[in-house]
Structure 1
Amino acid sequence: MSDLIAQFKNRLIISCQAPADSPLHAPEIIAAIAQASVNQGAVAVRIDSPEHIRAVRATLPNIPIIGLWKRTFPESEVYITPRLEDALAVVEAGADIVAIDATARFRPNDETLADLIQGIHEQTGKHVMADLDSYENGALAAKAGADILGTTLYGYTRETQHLTPPGFDLLKKLVQDFDLPVICEGGIHTPEMMQKAFQLGADSVVVGTAITGIDLLAQKFCRACENMVL
């Protein structure tokens, strides 16, 4: 385990993102959210898009950034850093670790997972976090050279849409069978759920919406008002 990844051990990583149609989806606001997260003890942040990564890097020059770029292509369901050129842009913007979709789904440009991971390693020297939906894809990602395994896509792919995050069962299997750092991400809504992930062996936990998802949280409470029976 590298010194960088070792910093995450038993610590919280906060995902600082906002919907594209939200007024919070501005680089300076994402950077402020990241700063607030670090001020309260987050050891690293997870940031989407080169523009936002640059803003966060300028604000937090010494804080590890897990970078990704959500992009959609009509020929593929893969959207988290789908291509090598997207990964290179994420690194150029200032990311220390590149998060990629590591499912077995068809990728744009017909790149293979192994090609993508190898390209990131060879052209940037950065670590790769494999965002996974299943144990089988975890095994493929480990074989392809991923440096970190994450439960990020559990419940969010066509094959796992019947499952509800967090992927605690997947987490347990990944921790048990692979000698790689494992990060629990997705569906962690409370401090108690975070603690459970650590108890199951997670090296670190990523929390996003439960902390930084102002739009969705506001929507949840407002809909509850509308549905009240008095």
Structure 2
Amino acid sequence: MRFSKEEVLKAMKHSIIVSCQALPGEPLYVEEKSIMYLMARAAKQAGATCIRTNSVRDVIAIKEETKLPVIGLIKKQYEGYESYITPTLKEVTELVEAEADVIALDCTMRRRGDGTTINEYIAKIKELYPDLVLMADISTYEEGVNAWKCGVDLVSTTMSGYTPYSLKVEGPDFELVKKLIEAVDIPVIAEGRVHTPELAKAMLETGAYAVVVGGAITRPFEIATRFMSAIK
């Protein structure tokens, strides 16, 4: 069952969206079976009302476990593509079939291997799946405004600091969130380097519709590394 756009937006409003992801090569990635549903179970018990995750198997497992709205994406690197978050229609279709409630995709202006622009890509998705709820992962103000004009449903600052041309800051990009809130009339989701509860609270107070927290909750290697770095 897929949640409606209204149900998803109600669930995530003024909340922490917990990102439960593990990629091949990471300590919590198990080849034989997804275990991210356990992270999602913990997040739900803590009060989370929406989960973000990567891969078809994790979307399916987490929806079955939690019965919560799930933001799905597929991280895949293709030759010729600089973007890797749900980069082609193949991944979109796979997530639709897995019944992801929201699909997140890279909406930066970086080069696309199929020769299309991000505007053409979004238009094609909306043509094929007009009722699909789309989250634009962007890195700059211009990319966020462009995605909004293309008709996405949510804008997230996921890629801020992770493209060569975006602002590099140690913590969350508060200024980008503030500027987007003033410019667009769709929910702005704060994501990226939200390492503490205090930062998450500050982002919500800035006016973000919701805040995505991943590494600070669900990636023990990153958490442990921050502690080790601090004492060195």
Which stretch has the larger CA shift, 82-91 or 166-175?
82-91
Q: Determine the C-alpha separation between the residues in 2 that align with 1:2 and 1:98.
A: 15
What TM-score do you get using the length of structure 2 for normalisation? Answer: 0.90
Q: Determine the C-alpha separation between the residues in 2 that align with 1:184 and 1:163.
A: 14
2:11·2:69 contact (CA, 8 Å) conserved in 1?
no
Residue 219 and residue 192 in structure 1: after superposition, are their counterparts in 2 closer, same or farther (change >3 A)? Answer: closer
2:135·2:155 contact (CA, 8 Å) conserved in 1?
yes
Counterpart code for 1:91: V
Matched, 1:122 2:116: no
Q: Determine the C-alpha separation between the residues in 2 that align with 1:143 and 1:77.
A: 22
Q: Counterparts in 2 of 1:35-184, with a 5 A limit? A: 35-60=41-66, 62-124=67-129, 125-160=131-166, 162-184=168-190
- CA displacement 1:68-99 (0-9 Å, x = unmatched): 01111221210111111111111211210000
Distance apart, 1:23 and its partner CA = 3.9
Which stretch has the larger CA shift, 157-166 or 180-189?
157-166
2:174·2:203 contact (CA, 8 Å) conserved in 1?
yes
1:197 aligns with one of 189, 199, 203: 203
Matched, 1:14 2:22: no
SS in 2 for 1:220: helix
1:149·1:181 contact (CA, 8 Å) conserved in 2?
yes
Distance apart, 1:224 and its partner CA = 5.2
- CA displacement 1:97-156 (0-9 Å, x = unmatched): 000111111123123222322333333321100001000111110111111011111100
SS in 2 for 1:51: helix
Unaligned runs of 5+ in 1: none
Distance apart, 1:165 and its partner CA = 4.0
1:221 aligns with one of 192, 214, 227: 227
Distance apart, 1:171 and its partner CA = 0.2
1:102·1:132 contact (CA, 8 Å) conserved in 2?
yes
Q: Determine the C-alpha separation between the residues in 2 that align with 1:8 and 1:37.
A: 13
What TM-score do you get using the length of structure 1 for normalisation? Answer: 0.91
SS in 2 for 1:130: strand
- CA displacement 1:201-224 (0-9 Å, x = unmatched): 101000000111111122333455
Q: Determine the C-alpha separation between the residues in 1 that align with 2:23 and 2:226.
A: 15
Counterpart code for 2:82: E
Unaligned runs of 5+ in 2: none
Counterpart code for 1:159: Y
